[in-house]
């Protein structure tokens, strides 16, 4: 609606009922906004119960903090809060069950696989909370919107994402006079040089989240795209895909071992912590694992920004984390209040997760950030929001993209090529699966 | 009245009908009151919970999944429209489906053979008298009773590409090289080894069940019959094949049927070990159905994929049950 244009009413007059409706709505809306801004919970939520379902965080201390933090908020506002933790892979099934039953938790968490678009008709519109947080903290980083926005409304609240930098062994690089891995080509040269010395590299080429995330980062940094900016159709089949596949196979053959075909999301952590890997591309959990288990290797482990594929092109695919509120929830107001409070305290969450949780709000990136801003090795992580992307880049995380991710089409295509299938056959299979899945979702 | 009766007029007819009806009512009420009818009714009453159980917990979900497979239902939208056989066609258009189908059949058949062999051997061993037999009989069922997630995660560690205890042991025995050498097996990374690894876990977990079923069968064979066969000069294998197996065939068939159904529909082992990787080398139909139907939200297509198990199992069940019925007479 253009600015300054009056809203037309039916007959040029306002009935008493309509006046009360509009005025009442306005008062309720503005009071909610005021409360959201002032962070003062309304009296109506007193005596209610709020049930939250979320994953078991990779950093157990974060869960302990979260549960306590939620309980304390509940005590302060007269709300009984119950937090249940389950493995993140079980969440889609649990979500389907709760939706089918029309009962369960008030707030439900999604990690990596964001199902907002599947369920949005049954989720509470959280645009007011998102708008208030955006206004308060300098707006959201640009890819946040693509995760949760459907038809202009926010049906989920992104609270943190998990990024994956390069973690490399500076001692090994220095011994072989290698430049630090600022480009994928330099990373390949390092792996090719260090593998014969007993220090190969590895990125999972199996059916796990890491394989979905990190090979996509490499592909997008080589100029590739997965879907149109609107998300309407796939754009996988391209000369960039061929260039990327050629590079990926060379990197695998020269710098990796077949172990990567069997890896899960924690294997690269162990690979680095064991002192074998010359570099890994992973979340900072690998850094923390090494810190806790192998101090000498940790001393020599350094972090680098996402490597460039094409000159100046860095795209880092991160694992998003989003909270949603069911429409069937009888305590939607308390749910919104809690989420707004959680966003206000996302930096505390970052501290408790030892720098693992990265915020989505621009003002949070004022340097130095907590934890990562004070550790010289981790400071580089503060520059990631400019290059962060999610599945479906440059488009949103649509339902076909979720199916493609959940059935591991992209890493499987690379695996086929690395295992000896011809490039064109691998692409034909991968692109064919993309098109088939997109067609199915369009048909539905 | 007599005349009317003899003439066979309308009154006579109605009287006859009434008489027949009264007689029949008397007969039926008599039958209803009879002991045999009451026993029959009581039988049905006792059977009713089982029938209801099957209808509610098996029939209704089956019909519901049939309905889902013919619709475009997704997890977030309760309103679905009829799409005919479109979901089945979609499954048949994907080569991942054929890979999963093949893997499901291979997984079930190979696991069944090994479970049969190991289960029989174990059952015979447990039949022998030895000190601590009761304790051993209790211990062998531990794999079957452990929570599946815990036992599979333990196996996952044993199959780890870097820290595999199996590889460590084989390496110490000099059967394979050290870590990093070309003959160091990557259990979950090489297609052949990966499916073998999943089968090993399934066999390890469920062969004690086969052994217990067989043990129950073996102990039901009267010793007199076995002694008579022994007196006739039969060997162990002859006694097993011609005496024991025919006598315990119903137990064997039911055990086999249960095991096949459980193995073919088992999601946990493959999902927890490999999620179907590498490159779908271990993907089986339940895993694919879960990934498409639940994780990706396409309930209709997921239901269609899982229903492909039905035509696989149906002929087998019919054959086994007919065989079982024939043996009853």
Tens-digit pLDDT profile for residues A43-75 = 678 889 999 999 988 888 899 999 999 999 999
420-439 in chain A: CB under 8 A from chain B: 429, 433, 436
Interface contact flag, A429 B95, Cβ < 8 Å? yes
Distance of alpha carbon A292 from alpha carbon A287, whole angstroms: 9
CA-nearest residue to B153 within chain A is A264
First to last CA, chain A: 32
Closest by CA position to A96, among listed A53, A56, A61: A53
Rounded Cα distance, A96 and A104, in Å: 11
Of all residues in chain A, the one with the smallest CA distance to B161 is A259
| B183 interfacial to chain A (CB closer than 8 Å) | no
Whether the predicted pLDDT of A27 surpasses 90? no
Give me the CATH number covering residue A208. Answer: 3.40.190.10
- Is A219 found in the same domain as A182? yes
Work out the average pLDDT over A259-273. Answer: 95
Element (H, E) at B182: none
Structure tokens at A65: 């903090």
Percentage of residues in chain A having pLDDT higher than 70: 90
- Same domain? A228 vs A285: yes
Domain borders along chain B are 86-328
Which positions in chain B touch A119 (Cβ < 8 Å)?
A: 75-76
Mark whether A276 and A415 lie in a shared domain: yes
**Residue A15: inside a domain:** no
Domain that holds residue A266: 166-317+382-443
In tens, the pLDDT along A284-325 reads 989 998 999 999 999 999 999 999 999 999 999 999 999 999
Residue for token pair 């051993």: B136
Convert the pLDDT of each residue in A385-433 to its tens digit: 999 999 999 999 899 999 999 999 999 999 999 999 999 999 999 999 9
Q: How far is A294 from chain B (nearest CA, A)?
A: 16
Instruction: Compute the distance between CA of residue A240 and CA of residue A248 in angstroms, rounded to an integer.
Output: 12
Nearest-CB residue to A407 (from B163, B186, B296): B296
Interface-testing mutation among A407, A418, A434, with chain B (most B C-beta atoms within 10 A): A407
Q: Which residue has the tokens 């172990």?
A: A259
Mean pLDDT of A120-135: 96
Q: Would an 8 Å CB–CB cutoff place A92 in contact with chain B?
A: yes
Per-residue confidence band for A41, with pLDDT thresholds at 50, 70 and 90: low
A300 and A326 together in one domain? no
- CA nearest neighbour of A264 among B205, B265, B194: B194
**Rounded (to 5) percent helix, strand, coil in chain B:** 75, 0, 25
- Confidence band, pLDDT 50/70/90 cuts, at residue B311: confident
Minimum-distance CB partner of B295 among A113, A262, A429: A113
Q: Chain A partners of B189 at a C-beta cutoff of 8 Å?
A: 206, 258-263
Query: Can you read off the two tokens belonging to residue B247?
Result: 């006598």
Q: Which of A 47-86 lie inside 8 A of B, CB atoms? A: none
Q: Does A406 touch chain B (CB under 8 A)?
A: yes
Whether residue A400 sits in one domain with residue A263? yes
Instruction: List, in sequence order, the alpha helices (H) in A234-378.
Output: 239-255, 267-273, 285-293, 295-299, 332-344, 346-352
Residues A358 and A285 in one domain: no
Tell me the pLDDT band of A14, cut-offs 50, 70 and 90.
very low
Selected for mutation to probe chain B from A102, A112, A207 (highest B CB count within 10 Å) is A207
Residues A126 and A228 in one domain: no
- Tell me what the mean pLDDT of segment A239-243 comes to: 97
Give the C-alpha separation, B79 to A283, whole Å. Answer: 40
- Same-domain check for residues A187 and A97: no
Put simply, whether B93 touches A (Cβ < 8 Å) is: yes
| Helix (H), strand (E) at residue A345 | none
Bridge partners of A80, per DSSP, are A49
User: Taking CB atoms and an 8 Å cutoff, what residues of chain A touch B74?
Assistant: 118, 399, 444
Q: Do B278 and A267 touch (CB under 8 A)?
A: no
Using an 8 Å Cβ cutoff, are A54 and A44 in contact?
no
Q: Does B90 touch chain A (CB under 8 A)?
A: yes
Judging contacts by C-beta atoms under 8 Å, the chain B residues touching residue A93 are: 290, 294-295
**Which pLDDT band, with edges at 50, 70 and 90, does B21 fall under?**
low
> Which pLDDT value is given to residue A10?
39
Q: Which of A248-262, B39-53, B122-136 has the highest mean pLDDT?
A: A248-262
Q: Does A383 touch chain B (CB under 8 A)?
A: no
Do residues A230 and A280 share a domain? Answer: yes
pTM summary value: 0.84
Angle between helices A423-443 and A409-418 (to 10 degrees): 170
Q: Measured between CB atoms, does B196 come within 8 Å of chain A? A: no
The total of structural domains in chain A comes to: 2
**Residue contacts between A and B (CB atoms, under 8 Å):** 129
Q: Are residues A184 and A197 in the same domain?
A: yes
Q: In angstroms, what separates the C-alpha of A207 from chain B's closest C-alpha?
A: 5
User: Which residue in the set A115, A412, A436 is minimally distant from B297, CB to CB?
Assistant: A115
Q: Give how far B193 is from chain A: nearest CA, Å.
A: 11
From A365, A398, A428, give the residue that closes a domain: A365
Distance CA A53, CA A97 (A): 13
Residue A130: per-residue pLDDT? 97
Residue B125 C-alpha, separation from nearest chain A C-alpha, in angstroms: 37
Whole-complex ipTM: 0.83
Higher per-residue pLDDT: A22 or A221? A221
What pLDDT sits at residue A190?
A: 98
Confirm or reject contact between A302 and chain B (CB < 8 A). Answer: no
Is the Cβ pair A274, B162 closer than 8 Å? yes
pLDDT at position B109 is 93
- pLDDT tens string B34-67: 778 888 888 999 999 999 998 998 899 999 999 9
Three-class HEC string of A347-413:
HHHHHHCCCCCECCEHHHHCCCCCCCCCCCCCHHHHHHHHCEECCCCCCCCCHHHHHHHHCCHHHHH
Reported as a pLDDT band with limits 50, 70 and 90, residue A88 is confident
- Residue A8 resides in a domain: no
List of chain A residues whose C-beta atoms are within 8 Å of the C-beta of residue B76: 99, 115, 118-122
Q: Rounded to a whole number, what is the distance in Å from the CA of B233 to chain A's nearest CA? A: 54
Q: What is the DSSP letter of B244?
A: I
Which 8-state DSSP code applies to residue A180?
A: P
CA of B268 vs chain A CAs: smallest distance (Å): 12
Contact list, A276 vs chain B (CB under 8 Å):
162
CATH fourth-level superfamily of B86-328: MetI-like (1.10.3720.10)
The sign of the CA dihedral B21, B22, B27, B28 is positive
């Amino acid at each position: 609606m253009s600015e300054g244009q009056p809203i037309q009413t039916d007959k040029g007059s306002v009935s008493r009922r309509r006046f009360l409706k509009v005025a009442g709505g306005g008062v309720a809306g503005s009071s909610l906004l005021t409360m959201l801004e002032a962070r003062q919970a309304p009296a109506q939520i007193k005596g209610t119960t709020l049930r939250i379902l979320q994953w078991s965080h990779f950093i157990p201390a974060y869960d302990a903090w979260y549960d306590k933090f939620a309980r304390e908020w509940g005590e302060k506002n007269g709300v009984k809060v119950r937090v249940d933790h389950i493995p993140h892979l079980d969440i889609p099934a649990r979500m389907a069950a709760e939706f089918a039953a029309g009962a369960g938790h008030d707030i439900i968490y999604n990690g990596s696989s964001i199902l907002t678009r599947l369920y949005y008709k049954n989720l509470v519109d959280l645009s007011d909370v998102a708008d208030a947080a955006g206004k308060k903290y300098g707006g959201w980083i640009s890819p946040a919107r693509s995760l949760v926005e459907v038809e202009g409304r926010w049906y989920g609240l992104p609270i943190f994402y998990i990024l994956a930098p390069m973690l490399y062994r500076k001692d090994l690089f220095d011994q072989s006079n290698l430049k630090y891995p600022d480009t994928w080509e330099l990373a390949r040269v390092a792996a090719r040089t260090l593998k014969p010395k007993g220090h190969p590299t590895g990125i999972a080429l199996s059916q796990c989240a890491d394989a979905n995330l990190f090979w996509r980062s490499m592909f997008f940094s080589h100029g590739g795209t997965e879907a149109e900016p609107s998300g309407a159709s796939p754009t996988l089949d391209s000369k960039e895909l061929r260039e990327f596949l050629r590079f990926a196979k060379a990197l695998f053959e020269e710098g990796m071992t077949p172990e990567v075909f069997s890896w899960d999301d924690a294997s690269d952590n162990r690979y680095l912590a064991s002192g074998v890997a010359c570099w890994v591309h992973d979340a900072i959990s690998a850094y923390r694992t090494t810190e806790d288990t192998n101090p000498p290797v940790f001393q020599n482990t350094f972090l680098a920004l996402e490597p460039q594929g094409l000159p100046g092109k860095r795209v880092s695919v991160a694992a998003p984390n989003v909270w949603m509120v069911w429409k069937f929830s009888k305590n939607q107001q308390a749910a919104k209040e809690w989420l707004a409070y959680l966003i206000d305290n996302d930096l505390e969450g970052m501290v408790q997760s030892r720098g693992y949780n990265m915020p989505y709000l621009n003002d949070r990136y004022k340097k130095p950030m907590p934890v990562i801003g004070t550790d010289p090795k981790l400071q580089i992580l503060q520059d990631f929001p400019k290059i962060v992307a999610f599945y479906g880049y440059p488009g949103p995380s649509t339902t076909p993209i979720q199916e493609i991710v959940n059935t591991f089409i992209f890493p499987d295509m690379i695996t086929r090529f690395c295992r000896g299938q011809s490039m064109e056959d691998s692409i034909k299979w991968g692109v064919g699966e993309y098109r088939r899945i997109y067609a199915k979702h369009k048909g539905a | 009245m007599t005349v009317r009766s003899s003439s066979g007029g309308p009154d006579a007819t109605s009287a006859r009908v009434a008489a027949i009806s009264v007689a029949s009512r008397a007969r039926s009420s008599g039958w209803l009151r009879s002991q045999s009818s009451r026993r029959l009714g009581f039988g049905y009453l006792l059977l009713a919970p089982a029938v209801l159980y099957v209808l509610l917990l098996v029939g209704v979900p089956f019909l519901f999944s049939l309905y889902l497979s013919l619709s475009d239902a997704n997890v977030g939208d309760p309103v679905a429209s009829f799409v005919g056989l479109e979901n089945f066609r979609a499954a048949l258009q994907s080569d991942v489906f054929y890979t999963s189908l093949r893997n499901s059949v291979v997984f079930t058949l190979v696991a069944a053979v090994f479970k049969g062999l190991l289960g029989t051997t174990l059952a015979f061993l447990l039949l022998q008298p030895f000190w601590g037999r009761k304790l051993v009989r209790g211990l062998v069922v531990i794999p079957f009773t452990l929570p599946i997630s815990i036992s599979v995660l333990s196996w996952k560690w044993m199959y780890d590409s870097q820290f595999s205890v199996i590889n460590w042991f084989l390496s110490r025995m000099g059967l394979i090289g050290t870590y990093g050498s070309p003959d160091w097996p990557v259990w979950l990374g090489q297609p052949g080894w990966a499916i073998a690894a999943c089968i090993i876990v399934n066999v390890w977990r469920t062969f004690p069940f086969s052994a217990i079923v067989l043990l129950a069968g073996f102990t039901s064979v009267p010793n007199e019959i076995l002694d008579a066969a022994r007196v006739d000069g039969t060997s162990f294998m002859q006694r097993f094949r011609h005496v024991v197996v025919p006598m315990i065939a119903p137990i064997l068939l039911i055990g086999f049927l249960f095991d096949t159904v459980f193995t073919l529909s088992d999601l946990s082992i493959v999902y927890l070990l490999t999620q179907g990787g590498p490159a779908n080398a271990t993907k089986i139909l339940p895993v694919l159905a879960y990934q498409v139907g639940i994780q990706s939200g396409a309930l209709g297509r997921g239901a269609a994929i899982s229903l492909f198990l039905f035509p696989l199992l149906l002929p087998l069940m019919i054959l086994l049950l007919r065989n079982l019925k024939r043996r009853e007479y």
